[in-house]
Amino acid sequence: MERVGRVSVFLLCVALTLFIFSFCVTSVNAGTTTDRPQWMDSSIAKLKGELVSKSGEAQRERVARGLDQVAQFWRSEDGRAEEFETFVRGNFAGDQATLDAMFDRFEALLEQIDGHMLEVSLACRRQSDLDLGPIMPFDEVFAGWDPSAHVLDDFFQNKLAFIALLNFPLTTLEQRLNEGDKWTRRQWAEVRLAQRFSKRIPAEVNQAIAQAGAVSDQYISEYNVWMHHLLNDKGERLFPAKLRLLSHWNLRDELKAQYANAEGGLERQKMIQLVMERIVDQTIPDVVIDNPHVDWNPFTNEVSRAAVEDSDELAPPDMKISNAREPDTRYRILLENFLAVKKVDPYSPTAPTHIARRFDEDREIPEERVREMFEQILTSPLVPKIAALIGERLGRPLEPFDIWYNGFRPQSKQTGAELDQIVRKRYPTADAYDKDMPNLLTALGFSKDRALYLADNIIVEPARGSGHAWGAGMREARSRLRTRVGKDGMDYKGFNIAVHEMGHNVEQTISLNNVDHTLLQGVPNTAFTEAIAFLFQANDLKLLGLQSADPKSEAMKVLNDFWGTYEISGVALIDMALWHWMYDHPNAKPAELKEATIQISKDIWNKYYATVFNKKDVALLGVYSHIIHSFLYLPDYPLGHLIALQIEEQVKKGGTVGSEVERMTVLGNVTPDVWMKNATGRPVGAEAMLAATERSLEELAKAKK
Ligand SMILES: [Zn+2]
């Protein structure tokens, strides 16, 4: 989803999979919250003796582990002692041939289940995800329905989950971190298989999360600002007619694009900053949101009936024009998401918060280690050096919005408008992009056959929101590349995003279709798929035939990456602090959460940015839409930049994007450090970026002399 105008390589996108919140919950060795039946211990003692004497002494450890794992989840409603014993006797795989057959069947069928569930879900979300006209109330109900919500429940009920738990190992994060690089591929696949059943979350909880997610997605995807209707103090319109920008992505990207506007850019950037701040503190008038029928002066906050019309729709006859502020809806939505995922806590005893599940399970890097990596960047002595360079290049003191400075990007010779024209001509429709994909992939270094194969496995569709990539869940299905295509064709922003999303889709396709075990489908965590998407996105101008690499532009790119990581690391820390705040204040009201967000945003600004920008108490970074609708996803972006840089350095050494992405993505879903050591020889860390940035500063200094 994450997923637009991105004139920037820091396009924040969300690569989606169905399993994040539902079926494929990864977890450490979870127990259950229910009481253990009284007969359990004596049944286990009896079965241990029986199974070991039947299967042999070599199976003793597996027998004990399997019985223990089943007992952790067995509730009285699952059956009495006799049923438990019959179940265990009938389903323990005591020899390798039986175990192999069981493993193969689970692997093949889970792929089918995941894949088909996802296809059903995407069909139901089609109207709300794609740019296909109005969303009716029933469309929202379809979009909010998660067909996989009951699968895990069903698997406990029909005891398939218990069969997996009886035969395959649950592991702790510690084991995966300490022992994982010695495991065989089959062992890893068995670990991932068992992990699917490491929680027993009621279906209604998963359903509540899916519903809250759908509501917040829609709130964010319709949060547009009609820029031609912003007035300055002289009553002037600074932005062109019909320019409708989605918060925060398009607002930020327009702000970036204005660096190229030497005459009026600064005034426009200041206006955009103000709009963003009013979104954060909710002083934005409710009536201006996604409404082309009112004019708004964000400085005075005055609202009036639009003096010019630039939309095709008529103003609703009952439209009330007032500057009554948005009633903290932003924070109500965030709270509802929080309360929905918090319902999982009692069913996840070893990762009892959403925060722990995100870090220990989804990312498989402990939160503390992630925070340390971000702080290494935020407090680096390289920051003031780069800030001074930016000030020098801008010829003025830095403003807070220069956190989005994009001037290190090797400047193309074309203006934004020219780029738009080039892209529109090339891609008048989503279909035109679709047809060109084999050429784009070949240009990135994929072989001709593979480019055709990959393109064949990716469907391009016009997104309603900012664009996103949905991976498939089974090998016979295809992944979806969604991007915004205007009536006049795809613009440069849309192209930039499409290339980013295409990176996700390529990763998704290879790591599903070409990995040795579908149980290891995917990447260690979303930061890795973002890293690969960034790798593609960084080549967008090259793909348009507009730019070739040279040492100076390489150095500029690294500084651009560093500055983006510096920016998004702070945003990620806000996201992390907010989730801790919500856990500390579970009964908070939206207004209180708003105040907390403003305060946390300012605190983090004051700690890491205020001296660099020479301004205190700025809440601007709280504008990110992900904070509201992405369930603590933001830390994946700075991690993604760090990981991306590690991978990029490897690509420079190893060959083309195509050949290295092919090699790396077949590793699949192992822990981040195992993946990274295989891919580059080193674990995940900030060191590669810091070293590359220092080199790049030296390179630029040399070039100056
Ligand atoms: Zn992305």
Give me ligand 1 centre to Cα 576, in Å.
19
d(CA 692, CA 424): 35
Q: How confident is the model at residue 704 (pLDDT cuts 50, 70, 90)?
A: confident
Give me ligand 1 centre to Cα 267, in Å.
30
Could you report the per-residue pLDDT of 580-633, keeping only the tens digit for each?
999 999 999 999 999 999 999 999 999 999 999 999 999 999 999 999 999 999
Give me ligand 1 centre to Cα 213, in Å.
18
pLDDT at 153: 86
- Model confidence at 11: pLDDT above 50: no
Give me ligand 1 centre to Cα 336, in Å.
25
How many other β-carbons are positioned within 10 Å of the β-carbon of residue 402? Answer: 22
Give me ligand 1 centre to Cα 496, in Å.
11
Expressed in percent and rounded to 5, the helix, strand and coil fractions of the chain are 60, 5, 30
Give me ligand 1 centre to Cα 15, in Å.
5
Contact residues for 264 (Cβ-Cβ < 8 A; gap 6+): 238, 258
The token pair at 170 is 């649950």
Give me ligand 1 centre to Cα 530, in Å.
5
Give me ligand 1 centre to Cα 256, in Å.
19
Nearest to 477 by CA among 113, 138, 223, 179: 113
| Average pLDDT for the chain | 91
Backbone angles phi and psi of 685, in degrees to 5: -170, 170
pLDDT at 201: 84
Mean pLDDT of 169-190: 92
Q: How confident is the model at residue 33 (pLDDT cuts 50, 70, 90)?
A: very low
pLDDT at 83: 97
pLDDT at 518: 97
Could you report the per-residue pLDDT of 612-622, keeping only the tens digit for each?
999 999 999 99
pLDDT at 25: 33
Give me ligand 1 centre to Cα 239, in Å.
28
Mean pLDDT of 81-88: 98
Give me ligand 1 centre to Cα 63, in Å.
43
Per the CB < 8 A criterion, the answer to whether 660 and 652 are in contact is no
- What's the pTM value of the predicted model, to 2 decimals? 0.78
Give me ligand 1 centre to Cα 667, in Å.
20
pLDDT at 14: 44
Mean pLDDT of 483-509: 93
Could you report the per-residue pLDDT of 633-654, keeping only the tens digit for each?
999 899 989 998 999 888 888 7
Lowest mean pLDDT among 7-11, 222-226, 254-258: 7-11
Give me ligand 1 centre to Cα 483, in Å.
12
Q: Look-up: residue for tokens 């920051």?
A: 383
Q: How confident is the model at residue 12 (pLDDT cuts 50, 70, 90)?
A: very low
Mean pLDDT of 514-541: 92
User: For the chain, what's the residue count?
Assistant: 705
Give me ligand 1 centre to Cα 499, in Å.
10
Give me ligand 1 centre to Cα 641, in Å.
11
Give me ligand 1 centre to Cα 240, in Å.
29
Strand-pair category, 458-462 with 479-483:
parallel
d(CA 668, CA 508): 10
Give me ligand 1 centre to Cα 69, in Å.
37
pLDDT at 502: 97
Q: Which residues of 198-228 are buried (b: 16+ CB within 10 A; e: fewer)?
A: bbbbbbebbbbbbbbbbbbbbbbbebbbbbb
Give me ligand 1 centre to Cα 249, in Å.
13
Give me ligand 1 centre to Cα 402, in Å.
23
Give me ligand 1 centre to Cα 90, in Å.
46
- Model confidence at 343: pLDDT above 70: yes
Give me ligand 1 centre to Cα 506, in Å.
12
∠ CA 172-176-179, rounded to 5°: 120
Give me ligand 1 centre to Cα 357, in Å.
21
Q: How confident is the model at residue 410 (pLDDT cuts 50, 70, 90)?
A: low
Mean pLDDT of 504-529: 95
Give me ligand 1 centre to Cα 199, in Å.
28
Please confirm whether the linkage preceding 293 is cis (ω < 30° from 0).
no
Cα separation values, 355 from 368, 574, 599, Å: 12, 13, 20
Nearest to 585 by CA among 603, 627, 577: 577
- Model confidence at 386: pLDDT above 90: yes
Mean pLDDT of 233-238: 96
Q: How confident is the model at residue 35 (pLDDT cuts 50, 70, 90)?
A: low
| The 3-state secondary structure of 393-447, one letter per residue | HHCCCCCHHHHHCCCCCCCCCCCHHHHHHHHHHHCCCHHHHHHHHHHHHHHCCCC
Mean pLDDT of 212-229: 96
d(CA 588, CA 582): 7
d(CA 542, CA 449): 21
Give me ligand 1 centre to Cα 640, in Å.
9
pLDDT at 548: 64
Give me ligand 1 centre to Cα 2, in Å.
5
H or E stretch including 483? strand 479-483
pLDDT at 248: 95
Beta bridge partners of 482: 461, 468
pLDDT at 467: 84
Give me ligand 1 centre to Cα 528, in Å.
10
Q: How confident is the model at residue 48 (pLDDT cuts 50, 70, 90)?
A: very high
d(CA 647, CA 645): 5
Q: How confident is the model at residue 4 (pLDDT cuts 50, 70, 90)?
A: very low
Give me ligand 1 centre to Cα 3, in Å.
5
Give me ligand 1 centre to Cα 105, in Å.
33
Q: What is the largest CA-CA distance in the chain?
A: 90
Give me ligand 1 centre to Cα 339, in Å.
26
d(CA 108, CA 154): 18
Give me ligand 1 centre to Cα 643, in Å.
13
Give me ligand 1 centre to Cα 275, in Å.
25
d(CA 226, CA 247): 11
533 or 16, which is more confident?
A: 533
Mean pLDDT of 293-298: 98
Give me ligand 1 centre to Cα 639, in Å.
12
Backbone angles phi and psi of 224, in degrees to 5: -105, 150
Could you report the per-residue pLDDT of 272-292, keeping only the tens digit for each?
999 999 999 999 999 999 999
Q: Is 364 left (phi over 0), alpha (psi -120 to 50) or beta?
A: left
pLDDT at 23: 35
pLDDT at 487: 87
Backbone angles phi and psi of 16, in degrees to 5: -105, 140
Give me ligand 1 centre to Cα 501, in Å.
6
Q: How confident is the model at residue 30 (pLDDT cuts 50, 70, 90)?
A: very low
Q: How confident is the model at residue 301 (pLDDT cuts 50, 70, 90)?
A: very high
- Model confidence at 260: pLDDT above 80: yes
Q: How confident is the model at residue 412 (pLDDT cuts 50, 70, 90)?
A: low
d(CA 333, CA 558): 36
Q: How confident is the model at residue 347 (pLDDT cuts 50, 70, 90)?
A: confident
Give me ligand 1 centre to Cα 276, in Å.
22
Give me ligand 1 centre to Cα 504, in Å.
7
Give me ligand 1 centre to Cα 508, in Å.
12
Per the CB < 8 A criterion, the answer to whether 328 and 282 are in contact is yes
Lowest mean pLDDT among 30-44, 89-103, 372-386, 576-590: 30-44
Give me ligand 1 centre to Cα 115, in Å.
21
Give me ligand 1 centre to Cα 309, in Å.
35
Q: Count the helices and strands in the chain (H runs, E runs).
A: 30, 8
Q: How confident is the model at residue 483 (pLDDT cuts 50, 70, 90)?
A: confident
d(CA 607, CA 388): 18
pLDDT at 411: 62
Give me ligand 1 centre to Cα 500, in Å.
6
Mean pLDDT of 176-180: 90
Give me ligand 1 centre to Cα 549, in Å.
23
Could you report the per-residue pLDDT of 123-167, keeping only the tens digit for each?
999 999 998 999 999 999 999 898 998 898 899 999 999 999 999
Give me ligand 1 centre to Cα 563, in Å.
18
pLDDT at 384: 98
Lowest mean pLDDT among 116-130, 199-213, 314-328: 199-213
Nearest to 668 by CA among 524, 504, 468, 458: 524
Mean pLDDT of 497-516: 97
pLDDT at 2: 31
Give me ligand 1 centre to Cα 540, in Å.
14
Mean pLDDT of 191-197: 94
Per the CB < 8 A criterion, the answer to whether 644 and 565 are in contact is no
Per the CB < 8 A criterion, the answer to whether 282 and 593 are in contact is no
Give me ligand 1 centre to Cα 251, in Å.
18
Give me ligand 1 centre to Cα 468, in Å.
7
